[in-house]
Structure 1
């Protein structure tokens, strides 16, 4: 397994895990089999031209886009037990963490990853149990002929999603606490972020050291670092095709949050002037 820490803005970052080819297990777990079956069914439904399948796919895709990118990132990290099945020495093996050294200070990497690992654990645990416990209450919907019990499947899906994210967060916390992370500042990532930092006028002196640039970023206001076109570039640089979708989702969500925060701040200033 290899981890990628991708700064989306100067204060928000996406964590993403990519299994190494030699780590891909030939024996699928029951959860993996169910997940693959669900993915195949969903793909078939996406081909429908009309009808309830088309409506469900359209609604489902909108729902997935609203799921926080932090949850998607943690879901990409396999559970500790799953990783041990494909690599029995995992508990004693360092895991590479690729990141841009000119956007994140190496000294801060450990604390950033610890925060990502622990900040949402209570939320995922609480929502996981709520989703699973609430799902039987949707039983009456199953009595409606010809229409699947969508509320039930939605709650089961959300419970599973929170369960995956919770396991991923615990695995990441384990790696942080056991000091099993090996920070690797990737030169190609540094080049991409150097261009973005310069074009956004976040840095003006490109001759500064990575540590100095990272300090400037940390002390400044929260600003978006990536553009939508960068998502595919990241996927190519890191040889992780699935990362493109995750990065695009994160960029959209962070951009919307920053716009909402800026709007709220402007309204707050206007109200003060009116008083």
Structure 2
């Protein structure tokens, strides 16, 4: 499956890295969720009957926990206004707002992705775009591995809050962060694999800089895991709002609507470091 990645500068050295929402990938995710065990008995049965390596069983367990968390979150979202569950949902939204957009981007690179199409404004250097994508992926493998192990170590401590007559919010939050960092780590490793130097290059013809990059690639690379795709439409949207303060919120929202991006995550890049 090919994923479309959109890259553009938002403010100074801050660039936005986001994946376009694909209906086919959403359908695939729904299909995978449908095959995830709904109960502990079904989970134990699948694990015992699974002939795959331990990695497959670990992913099955993580998908099971993720499915349970998603269902619980949907229940909180549908809670009536003013109820305790509704207040917990509001707290969750405030906590999620603090999650860095790069983490959300890396989590979107799933194991089903076999190649990426990188859309960017032609005013950016093609080599720099790929270099920065590799930097994001490589940095993600370091950061999210460290935070994953840190979150795992905190899980036993948060279980102490189960003695209180209230929902163990710290435990579920740390559990979610553990899952989120694990997914971001997997996405980082996958993205680094796709845009590594060993991959072949496909560069859209037309721009002189892109032609030079294409000519520099040996002919033996005939199948590519990444494609550089300059977009004049994206360039026009950026140039329309080019200023010292970076892109405005309205322009970023327009870009997100045009290229099917998550506007909430894209807007976070304006203030990220």
Q: Deviation at 1:21?
A: 4.0
Could you say which residue in structure 1 is the equivalent of 2:208?
none
Could you say which residue in structure 2 is the equivalent of 1:166?
185
Pairs aligned (count): 215
Q: For the structure 1 residues 174 and 68, does the alpha-carbon distance in structure 2 shift closer, same or farther, using more than 3 Å as the test?
A: same
Q: For the structure 1 residues 27 and 62, does the alpha-carbon distance in structure 2 shift closer, same or farther, using more than 3 Å as the test?
A: closer
Q: For the structure 1 residues 36 and 6, does the alpha-carbon distance in structure 2 shift closer, same or farther, using more than 3 Å as the test?
A: farther
How far, CA to CA, are the matches of 1:7 and 1:36 in structure 2?
35
How far, CA to CA, are the matches of 1:34 and 1:6 in structure 2?
35
Q: For the structure 1 residues 129 and 109, does the alpha-carbon distance in structure 2 shift closer, same or farther, using more than 3 Å as the test?
A: same
Could you say which residue in structure 1 is the equivalent of 2:109?
77
Q: Deviation at 1:192?
A: 0.5
- The residue correspondences of 1:183-262 to structure 2 (distance < 5 A) are 183-197=228-242, 200=243, 224-238=245-259, 240=260, 242-251=261-270, 253-254=271-272
Deviations 1:104-161 (A, max 9, x none): 211212211111111232221111111112111122211212x111111111111111
Q: Deviation at 1:38?
A: 3.0
How far, CA to CA, are the matches of 2:97 and 2:24 in structure 1?
31
Deviations 1:162-208 (A, max 9, x none): 111111111110011132211111121111111122xx1xxxxxxxx
Q: Deviation at 1:54?
A: 2.8
CA contact (8 A) 1:9 1:226 kept: yes
CA contact (8 A) 2:241 2:251 kept: no
Could you say which residue in structure 2 is the equivalent of 1:262?
none
How far, CA to CA, are the matches of 2:245 and 2:227 in structure 1?
27
Could you say which residue in structure 1 is the equivalent of 2:16?
14
Q: For the structure 1 residues 32 and 189, does the alpha-carbon distance in structure 2 shift closer, same or farther, using more than 3 Å as the test?
A: farther
Match of 1:49, SS? coil
CA contact (8 A) 1:234 1:243 kept: no
- The residue correspondences of 1:36-51 to structure 2 (distance < 5 A) are 36-46=67-77, 47-51=79-83
- The residue correspondences of 1:78-157 to structure 2 (distance < 5 A) are 78-79=110-111, 82-83=112-113, 90=114, 94-102=115-123, 104-145=124-165, 147-157=166-176
Q: For the structure 1 residues 19 and 50, does the alpha-carbon distance in structure 2 shift closer, same or farther, using more than 3 Å as the test?
A: closer
Which has more helix, going by share of residues? 1
CA contact (8 A) 1:45 1:57 kept: yes
CA contact (8 A) 2:238 2:251 kept: no
How far, CA to CA, are the matches of 1:3 and 1:41 in structure 2?
30
How far, CA to CA, are the matches of 1:138 and 1:32 in structure 2?
22
1:27 and 2:47 aligned: no
Q: Deviation at 1:58?
A: 2.1
How far, CA to CA, are the matches of 1:8 and 1:184 in structure 2?
19
CA contact (8 A) 1:114 1:173 kept: yes
Q: Deviation at 1:225?
A: 2.5
- The residue correspondences of 1:171-186 to structure 2 (distance < 5 A) are 171-177=190-196, 178-179=198-199, 180-186=225-231
Q: Deviation at 1:71?
A: 1.2
TM-score in terms of structure 2 length: 0.70
